[in-house]
């Protein structure tokens, strides 16, 4: 038995990939460890969405490279979006790396791992994904969680001008519904209580397959029919790709959470056009209104970028106003970071000075805190069905940490309930990031 340590940066897709990498390597006698120092094989699964995350990958490699000086038999690998982007160039900064493999090469690991065990240095990056039935390999899911991820579509065809993902994940590729449904059945059998369907654009699911009936809406309907007590989520939605049929499916399917993560990115139509987002501010408002009308307790969350090249103070102000007017329930926020290969990355003369960018980010965060609290307060007095995800002890009392269908975090006390239970909770108190309640 050899020991494997994987460090995962970035989005849920990367976390899901790491579970698959650990699963594949378990067929080759690798056992996962949480202790970096005792590993025989160290893998960093990287993210390139912002420069800060890419830098993190290289500083980790630097630490591991030092360890390898005194333990030459130690193997070091890098994968994920930085690997896909930098390819052989990884070795310019980190020559001691044994294996570089791209986001499309995960299922080639059986042969790659043999090569590095024979002391070969390998760089495996392709733009043609290695395709296989993912159910042929084990998936080592995090067992301390009630949630399991299923990637349903990978890649992106949108080319938003700020975003590196189309370059690191390639074009959209959907998995076949039968394969996804089989994976879901395995997950339910293993005792997980929540399935999150993943995609850079989940709404595009099926568009690259021949059959018109293969859509996210129909996939939700099929998964909803599976036996067992569990619920289903899907992320991330692209505003103008959310169809009426999808909204109908979410409504029809009792297991599907009434929750939408729909990144808006900016509240100004000119900036949205500059970003190559295919909707205006008004179109986003229409979609959000339609969803809110249909699902009274729904939460709509978003992502925003502060300081996109050329963004004026007034245009930024439109973003703050949009967050208010849309009563968004939560937003991920980031300062614009120039990325290699992207159009916006070349708009150097329009770059916003760092101090202004970070000052805008701070105001964005302040607005986010304000609307989150407002959103949470709406739920005081209501009953939400929650799934218990964990427990913490506070002053000798066991507090259950749970999540409602609309993704709100709810804390409550009830010694008759356990991790994995669904419970109806009456909300009694709201704070910025969470709710408190009593089981009913």
Which residues form the interface with ligand F3S (CB under 6 A)? 10-11, 13-14, 47-49, 80-81, 164-165, 168-169
Residue 46 contacts ligand SAH per CB under 6 A = no
Residue 332 contacts ligand SF4 per CB under 6 A = no
Q: Supply the minimum distance, in Å, between the C-beta of residue 191 and ligand F3S.
A: 27
Which residue of 265, 301, 331, 439 would you call a contact of ligand SAH, by CB under 6 A?
Answer: 265
Of 26-34, 249-257, 331-339, 424-432, which segment contacts ligand SAH by CB under 6 A?
A: 331-339
Residue 288 contacts ligand SF4 per CB under 6 A = no
Contact 47, 83 (CB under 8 A): no
H or E segment to which residue 376 belongs = helix 354-377
Which residue of 141, 339, 403, 408 would you call a contact of ligand SAH, by CB under 6 A?
Answer: 339
Token digits of residue 62: 């630097």
Residue 237 contacts ligand SF4 per CB under 6 A = no
- DSSP secondary structure letter of residue 203: G
Residue 200 contacts ligand SF4 per CB under 6 A = yes
The residue among 78, 160, 85 whose CA lies nearest residue 121 is 78
Sequence-ordered list of residues with C-beta below 8 angstroms from that of 347, at least 6 positions apart, any chain: 309, 310
Q: Supply the minimum distance, in Å, between the C-beta of residue 172 and ligand SAH.
A: 11
Q: How far apart are the first and last CA of the chain?
A: 49
Which residue of 12, 33, 135, 158 would you call a contact of ligand SF4, by CB under 6 A?
Answer: 158
Which single residue brings its beta carbon nearest to ligand F3S? Answer: 10
H or E segment to which residue 302 belongs = strand 299-306
Angle (CA) 429-433-439 rounded to 5° is 40
Q: Supply the minimum distance, in Å, between the C-beta of residue 101 and ligand F3S.
A: 14
Residue 240 contacts ligand SF4 per CB under 6 A = no
Q: Supply the minimum distance, in Å, between the C-beta of residue 304 and ligand F3S.
A: 15
Residue 160 contacts ligand SF4 per CB under 6 A = yes
Residue 47 contacts ligand SF4 per CB under 6 A = no
Residue whose structure tokens are 């005194």: 70
Q: How far apart are CA 273 and CA 28, in angstroms?
A: 49
Task: Please state, as a whole number, how many other Cβ atoms lie within 10 Å of the Cβ of residue 216.
Answer: 28
Which partner from the list ligand SAH, ligand F3S, ligand SF4, none does 48 bind, CB cut-off 5 to 8 Å by kind? ligand F3S
Question: What phi and psi, each to the nearest 5 degrees, are found at residue 179?
Answer: -65, -40
Of 139-147, 162-170, 187-195, 286-294, which segment contacts ligand SAH by CB under 6 A?
A: 162-170
Which partner from the list ligand SAH, ligand F3S, ligand SF4, none does 47 bind, CB cut-off 5 to 8 Å by kind? ligand F3S
Strands 299-306, 330-335: pairing kind:
parallel
Which residue of 49, 188, 197, 247 would you call a contact of ligand SAH, by CB under 6 A?
Answer: 49
Q: How far apart are CA 173 and CA 68, in angstroms?
A: 37
Contact 174, 205 (CB under 8 A): yes
Residue whose structure tokens are 């609309």: 406
Which residue of 9, 81, 82, 163 would you call a contact of ligand SF4, by CB under 6 A?
Answer: 163
H or E segment to which residue 4 belongs = strand 2-8
Q: What is the DSSP string of 31-77?
A: EE-S-GGG-SEEEEEE--SSHHHHHHHHHHHHHHHHHHHH-TT-EEE
Which partner from the list ligand SAH, ligand F3S, ligand SF4, none does 215 bind, CB cut-off 5 to 8 Å by kind? none
Residues that bind ligand SAH in the complex, under the rule CB under 6 A: 49-50, 162-163, 165, 200-201, 236, 238, 263, 265, 303, 305, 334, 336-337, 339
Residues that bind ligand SF4 in the complex, under the rule CB under 6 A: 156, 158-160, 163, 165-166, 200-201, 238
């Amino acid at each position: 038995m050899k020991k494997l340590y994987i460090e995962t940066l970035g989005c849920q897709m990367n976390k899901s990939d790491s579970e698959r990498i650990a699963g594949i390597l378990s067929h080759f006698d690798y056992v996962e460890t949480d202790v970096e120092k005792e590993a025989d094989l160290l893998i960093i699964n990287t993210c390139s969405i912002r420069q800060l995350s890419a830098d993190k990958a290289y500083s980790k490699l630097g630490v591991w490279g030092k360890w390898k000086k005194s333990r030459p038999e130690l193997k070091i690998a890098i994968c994920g979006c930085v690997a896909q982007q930098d390819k052989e160039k990884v070795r310019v900064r980190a020559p001691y790396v044994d294996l570089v493999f791209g986001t499309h090469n995960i299922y080639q690991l059986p042969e790659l791992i043999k090569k590095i065990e024979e002391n070969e240095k390998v760089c495996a990056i392709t733009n043609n994904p290695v395709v296989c039935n993912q159910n042929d390999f084990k998936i080592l899911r995090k067992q301390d969680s009630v949630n399991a991820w299923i990637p349903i579509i990978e890649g992106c065809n949108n080319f938003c001008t700020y975003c590196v993902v189309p370059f690191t994940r390639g074009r959209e590729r959907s998995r076949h519904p039968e394969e996804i449904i089989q994976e879901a059945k395995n997950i339910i059998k293993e005792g997980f209580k929540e399935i999150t369907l993943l995609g850079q654009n989940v709404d595009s699911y099926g568009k690259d397959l021949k059959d018109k009936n293969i859509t996210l809406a129909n996939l939700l309907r099929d998964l909803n029919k599976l036996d067992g007590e569990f619920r289903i989520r899907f992320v991330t939605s692209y505003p103008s790709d959310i169809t009426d049929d999808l909204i109908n499916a979410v409504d029809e399917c009792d297991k599907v959470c009434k929750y939408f993560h729909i990144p808006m990115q900016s509240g100004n139509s000119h900036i949205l056009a500059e970003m190559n987002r295919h909707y205006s501010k008004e179109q986003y408002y229409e979609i959000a209104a339609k969803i809110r009308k249909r699902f009274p307790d729904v939460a709509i969350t978003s992502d925003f970028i502060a300081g996109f090249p050329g963004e004026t103070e007034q245009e930024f102000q439109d973003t703050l106003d949009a967050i208010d007017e849309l009563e968004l329930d939560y937003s991920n926020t980031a300062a614009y970071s120039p990325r290699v290969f992207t159009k916006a990355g070349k708009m150097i003369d329009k770059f916003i000075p760092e101090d202004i960018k970070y000052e805008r980010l701070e105001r964005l965060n302040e607005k986010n805190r304000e609307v989150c609290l407002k959103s949470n307060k709406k739920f005081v007095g209501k009953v939400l069905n929650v799934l218990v995800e964990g427990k913490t002890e506070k002053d000798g009392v066991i507090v259950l940490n749970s999540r409602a269908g609309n993704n709100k975090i709810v804390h409550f006390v009830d010694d008759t309930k356990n991790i994995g239970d669904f419970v109806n909770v009456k909300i009694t108190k709201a704070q910025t990031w969470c709710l408190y309640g009593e089981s009913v």
